[in-house]
Amino acid sequence: MKEKVIEVRNLVKKFGSFVANDDLNFDVFKGEIFGFLGANGAGKTTAMKILCGLSSPTSGEVKVAGFDIYRETEKVKRNIGYMSQKFSLYEDLTIAENIRFFSGIYGITPKNRKAKQEVLLKNLDIESSKDSLIGSLPLGWKQKLAFSVAIFHDPKIVFLDEPTGGVDPITRRKFWDLIYETANRGITVFVTTHYMDEAEYCNRVSIMNEGRIEALDTPENLKKQYSAKNMDEVFLKIVRKAE
Amino acid sequence: MKTIFYVIQKEFIQVKRNKVMLRMIVMIPLMQMLVLVFAATFDLKNVDIFLVDKDMSSTSRELASKLEASPFFTINNTSFNPEEGEKELLRNADDMVLVIPHGFERNLIRDDKASLQLLVNAIDGQAAQLGYSYAASVIRDFNKNIIAEWKGLPEFKAPYQINTVSRYWYNSELEYKWYMAPGVLSILVTLIGLFLSGMSLVKEKEQGTIEQLNVTPIKKIQFLTGKLIPFVIIALFDLSFGLLIAKLVFNLPIVGSLALIFGMGALYLIGILGLGLFISTIADTQQQVMFVTFFFMMVFILMGGIFTPVESMPKWAQWIDQANPIYHFMRIMRMVVLKGSGFSDLIHEFVALCILGFTFLSLAVWRYRKTA
């Protein structure tokens, strides 16, 4: 459980004179659910994009899945999955076509794909909809599908950027069931969120404010440390203290 | 290699699902070929003349009927007041005013010469010149006949005479549509190629799917090639569709080799699509792509030589035109379709298209970043 899958040292990202990530340092371990919390504009998405290789850091060292993100970007990309804030499967393709396309890009053979696709459809209980266009599905389904496609190639880490925005609590709860299953399979889940109840589900959380990580521990320890009833209070105390 | 196949497959499915795009692919060639080729003609067919006949003699009437007999001229209005003629010119109701002055016949008989006044609306210089020279030649013929008739002399014949018989090569009937069809076709495949490729990449940006692709290990060459090939195929389909329309509707003679047309067409389109992809790597929205593409199309078309011969442009403009892909492709199309030129006649254009294509593609590959 102590194998490091993400190592971040002195990560800085600047946009002009604006410092989006100010000297971040943290590790993420294999199989854990790592919550990345912070207010809007705290720099969560920026940091996540750097970890995914979508954006290059200004300075600092970052290793993802054991590979250096500067020099081994393509190897990093083979080993990660990503689900962005903006829903991003092809709306004008069917479920099966989306799966076929992304499998093709990751080099999954058609035979493997078919077997895995069957499991996926069964798990999500949408076997009958495999030829429906993504655009015609309800948002909750889309999110679950996007997540399932993001881990279809069995990455070591999956990054989720506010994956449950805009859906009801029940759908969110179901989404978290998927996250648990994934973590149980040994895939590390790195998730950003605003929802403090979701923070409780994480193994460890970090709380960012104005580009800096202000706290990083298990939800229990954080609650103790800040003598708070729940993560909501922890979060408010940290953000107010910083102000 | 297999990765490219999956991208191509996806692009084709997306085109198939996009009803508007499908309609564009079929309707644009149909409309442009049928409307533009017929409409964009320099053939002088109908010049409206305002006649001011102050002489009212048999000679003046004969001249008028000579003009009327020519297929190019219609005498639209007559009056004794030249100022009314000018008003008609201002209103654009007539193209020319012919004033036959009082005493025209008398002067002609007595002094062996008489004057006429021809006022031409020269806003469109080319049409004015053409109209004027046709009218002048009708009058000249009339003049010659009059001398012969009145003087009772046989038409003047020089002892030695050089007879020029002109024969128009490659388009012997001076069929303007045959000249226009390959030009319009060049423009329309460019339009389709540029828009389709430009739109398809920027759409991925708008929908956020580009991010999803950028976290995958796909190489940018694979992705861009996969984007390019489907649209080259679609644009080539439109090229053959357009040629077929031209053949069936205008009876366009396709003298040269079809293989050469399509080979050059493919080379040309790869470059044009490269430009489309480059534009969409810079733009963030479909509107931006539209604006930039529109700008390029305007310059390409107006400088490409579809209406105005590039040879009569200033030297600097001709130099700039070397970087205009439509200019080269239009030349190729006209040369191969109408004259049957072979590859060896097209080396210059071939090299130019290779250089332009390579430049556009390199720009697209260079500008497309998986990591911002």
Q: Annotate B303-372 with DSSP letters as a single string.
A: HHTSSS-GGGS-HHHHHHHTT-HHHHHHHHHHIIIII---GGGGHHHHHHHHHHHHHHHHHHHHH--S--
Q: Which two tokens stand for residue B179?
A: 């000249």
Q: What is the pLDDT of residues B214-239, one digit of tens each?
A: 999 999 899 999 999 999 999 999 99
Distance in Å, alpha carbon of A106 to nearest chain B alpha carbon: 7
**A91 touching B (Cβ < 8 Å):** yes
Pairing of strands A59-64, A4-15: antiparallel
Distance CA B47, CA B37 (A): 21
Residue B154: its pLDDT value, please? 57
Provide, as residue numbers in chain B, all residues whose Cβ is less than 8 Å from the Cβ of A107. 2-3
**Residue of B17, B217, B372 lying closest to A77 (CB–CB):** B217
CA angle A98, A102, A105 (to 5 degrees): 145
**Least Cα separation, residue A234 to chain B (angstroms):** 33
Checking if the pLDDT of B128 tops 90, the result is: no
In this prediction, residue B276 carries a pLDDT of 95
Interchain proximity B208–A86, CB inside 8 Å:
yes
Whether A107 has its CB under 8 Å from any CB of chain B: the answer is yes
Residue A30 has pLDDT above 60, yes or no: yes
CB B343 within 8 A of CB B261: no
Residue A78, chain B, CB below 8 Å: the answer is yes
**Chain B CB contacts of A90 below 8 Å:** 10, 14, 207, 209
Report how far residue A161's alpha carbon sits from residue A153's, in angstroms, rounded to the nearest whole number: 19
Spatial separation of the C-alpha atoms in residues A98 and A145, rounded to whole Å: 10
pLDDT at A67 over 70: yes
Residue B4 confidence (pLDDT) above 70: yes
Going by C-alpha positions, the residue among B360, B305, B299, B294 that lies closest to residue B327 is B305
Q: What is the pLDDT of residue B310?
A: 85
| Residue B308 pLDDT | 78
Q: How far is B281 from chain A (nearest CA, A)?
A: 15
* Percent of chain A whose predicted confidence (pLDDT) is above 70: 99
Measured between beta carbons, which residues in chain B are less than 8 angstroms from residue A104? Answer: 2-3, 5-6, 9
B12 or B167, which is more confident: B12
Task: List CB contacts (< 8 A) between B2 and chain A.
Answer: 104, 107
Q: How far B369 CA lies from chain A's nearest CA (Å)? A: 9
Specify the pLDDT at position B346: 93
Q: Which domains does chain A have, with CATH numbers?
A: 4-79+155-242 (3.40.50.300), 84-139 (no CATH)
Q: Rounded to 5 degrees, what angle do the CA atoms A219, A50, A66 make?
A: 80
| pLDDT value, residue A107 | 92
Domain B47-151: which CATH number of 3.40.50.360, 3.40.1710.10, 3.10.20.590, 3.30.2130.10? 3.40.1710.10
Nearest to A212 by CA among A49, A43, A50: A43
Q: Which residues of A69-101 are buried (b: 16+ CB within 10 A; e: fewer)?
A: beebbebbbbbbbbbbeebbbbbbbbbbbbbbb
Q: A90 vs B10: CB contact, 8 Å cut-off?
A: yes
Closest-CA distance, A44 to chain B, in angstroms, reads: 16
Under DSSP, the state recorded for A12 is E
Integer Cα distance of B261 and B37 in angstroms = 20
B8-17, B105-114, B177-186, B363-372: least confidently modelled range: B105-114
* Best-predicted range by mean pLDDT (A28-32, B64-68, B87-91): A28-32
| β-sheet bridge partners, residue A188 | A157
Helix runs in B208-219, H state only: 209-214
What are the φ/ψ torsions at residue A86 (nearest 5 degrees)?
A: -80, 125
Region A198-203 average pLDDT: 90
Q: A92 in contact with B at a CB cutoff of 8 Å?
A: yes
Report the Cα A138 to chain-centroid distance in Å. Answer: 21
- The reply to whether residue A93 touches residue B13, judged by beta carbons under 8 angstroms, is yes
Tell me the average pLDDT across A95-118: 94
pLDDT at B16 over 70: yes
- The answer to whether residue A96 neighbours chain B at the CB level (below 8 Å) is no
| Residue B368 to residue B372: CA distance in whole angstroms | 9
In this structure, how many other beta carbons lie within 10 angstroms of the beta carbon of residue B161? 6
* B97-121 pLDDT tens trace: 999 988 888 888 888 778 888 888 8
Pairs across A and B, CB distance < 8 A: 83
Q: Chain A residue closest to B13 (CA)?
A: A93
Q: Which two tokens stand for residue B132?
A: 């004027």
Higher-confidence position of B133 and A179: A179
Spatial distance between the Cα atoms of B75 and B78, rounded to a whole number of angstroms: 8
Chain A nearest-CA residue for B369: A54
| pLDDT greater than 80 at residue B42 | no
Q: What average pLDDT does the segment B280-293 reach?
A: 93
pLDDT at residue A243, as a whole number: 63
Question: What are the extents of the domains in chain B?
Answer: 2-40+176-367, 47-151
State the pLDDT at residue B70: 83
Reply yes or no on whether the pLDDT at B43 is more than 70. Answer: no
Residues of B at the A interface (Cβ-Cβ below 8 Å)?
2-3, 5-7, 9-10, 13-14, 17-18, 207-209, 211-219, 370-372
3-class SS of residue A70: coil
Q: Which of A50, A134, A44 is nearest to A96 (CA)?
A: A134
pLDDT above 90: residue A35: yes
Question: What average pLDDT does range A173-183 have in this prediction?
Answer: 92
A56 vs B contacts (CB less than 8 Å): 371-372
Q: Which residues of B touch A132 (CB under 8 A)?
A: none
Q: What is the mean pLDDT of the segment spanning B150-158?
A: 57
Is B10–A97 a contact, with Cβ atoms under 8 angstroms apart? yes
In the DSSP assignment, the letter for residue B33 is: I
Asked if the Cβ–Cβ distance from B208 to A106 is below 8 Å, we say no
Using a CB–CB cutoff of 8 Å, tell me whether A147 touches chain B: no
* pLDDT tens-digit readout, B62-74: 888 888 888 888 8
The DSSP code sequence of B115-164 is --EEEE--SSHHHHHHHHHHHHHHHHHHHHHHHHHHHTPPPP--SS-PPP
